[in-house]
Chain A
Amino acid sequence: QKEVEQDPGPLSVPEGAIVSLNCTYSNSAFQYFMWYRQYSRKGPELLMYTYSSGNKEDGRFTAQVDKSSKYISLFIRDSQPSDSATYLCAMSPIQGAQKLVFGQGTRLTINP
């Protein structure tokens, strides 16, 4: 079993929809949780960064962590075609740890 599980999709939704992306993990030592966005033929870029449980909001994006369930989510409100990309969750047990553990990535398409 992988340490981090993420549904690879693909996920296709209409423009304006609310998107929910999720990851589950097995290592209870993970404390730092990240979401990366990767456009086609580009490297991943950090989108959201959260510590421990709780919510964090940044514009149309909300990251949610539930450590008791070992479950993290990324919500995208008012989705736009420019949000079409692969979204990767990543986590580590300590801040700035050298080895991030990534999920498989979910390929998301927002249809105009």
Chain B
Amino acid sequence: GAGVSQSPSNKVTEKGKDVELRCDPISGHTALYWYRQSLGQGLEFLIYFQGNSAPDKSGLPSDRFSAERTGGSVSTLTIQRTQQEDSAVYLCASSAQRGGGETQYFGPGTRLLVL
């Protein structure tokens, strides 16, 4: 079966430009997460979507970052006016909401480089 997919796999952009990163979760998974992984660092939580509930945006580092999830499936993370410090791997994960717990399944990530 298909896992979590992300596109593009790599993105190089110039400082000040906007970028959009896409995540396709596992079919049927109601929860979707975005994380950022900087070089040599662990994963930093960004945002969480669960079903039709309001997203938990508490991890977004600035108002340049936003995300949406359309139709409870595909999600797009948008970074406006990119800065060099935004360079990182952006990882998406999804999980099924079950009473017994939620294993998060990760996609391969989008490697963003801001020049």
Chain A: residues with CB nearer than 8 A to chain B?
4, 6, 8, 41-46, 49, 88, 90, 95-96, 98-105
Binary interface profile of B, 60-79, with partner A (CB < 8 Å = 1, else 0)?
00000000000000000000
What is the count of residue pairs linking A and B with beta-carbon distances less than 8 angstroms?
59
Instruction: Check B107 against A98 for contact (C-beta < 8 Å).
Output: no
Instruction: Check B42 against A43 for contact (C-beta < 8 Å).
Output: no
Total B residues in contact with A, Cβ cutoff 8 Å: 29
Instruction: Check B48 against A98 for contact (C-beta < 8 Å).
Output: yes
Chain B: residues with CB nearer than 8 A to chain A?
4, 31, 33, 35, 40-45, 48, 50, 56, 58-59, 91, 93, 95, 97-98, 101-109
Instruction: Check B43 against A102 for contact (C-beta < 8 Å).
Output: yes
Chain B residues within an 8 Å CB radius of A49: 101, 103
Instruction: Check A43 against B109 for contact (C-beta < 8 Å).
Output: yes
Bound: A49/B31 CA distance, A: 19
Shortest beta-carbon distance, A31 to chain B, in Å?
Answer: 12
Instruction: Check A98 against B56 for contact (C-beta < 8 Å).
Output: yes
Instruction: Check B56 against A105 for contact (C-beta < 8 Å).
Output: no
Chain A residues within an 8 Å CB radius of B59: 99
